[in-house]
Amino acid sequence: MSGSKGGKRRMFMGVEGRRPDNKRIRQKDAEARNAAWAALSAEDQLKVLDARLGNGMGAAKQRKRLQSKLAAS
């Protein structure tokens, strides 16, 4: 084994730290998540929050915004 890395070869030679395309990958994932969330109705978004965090728990500002959107329609 050569070097201090225990013989492991770097995938991106000459680049220190993280993958150079990691930011682009994370941005694409975030755009996909945001699109899926935006496709849900306000009522469905509240149901997802309840399933994820518990009934009425957490995300108070977001719940208030969604409830006001439901009351307006």
pLDDT in tens, 6-62: 656 666 666 677 777 888 999 999 999 999 999 999 999 999 999 999 888 888 999
Q: Is the distance from CB of 59 to CB of 53 less than 8 angstroms?
A: yes
**Rounded to two decimals, what is the model's pTM?**
0.65
Nearest to 46 by CA among 55, 36, 33, 35: 55
Handedness of CA 18, 19, 24, 28 (dihedral sign): negative
The pLDDT of residue 42: 93
Average pLDDT over residues 58-70: 92
Instruction: Work out the number of other CB atoms within 10 angstroms of the CB of residue 71.
Output: 8
Distance CA 39, CA 8 (A): 44
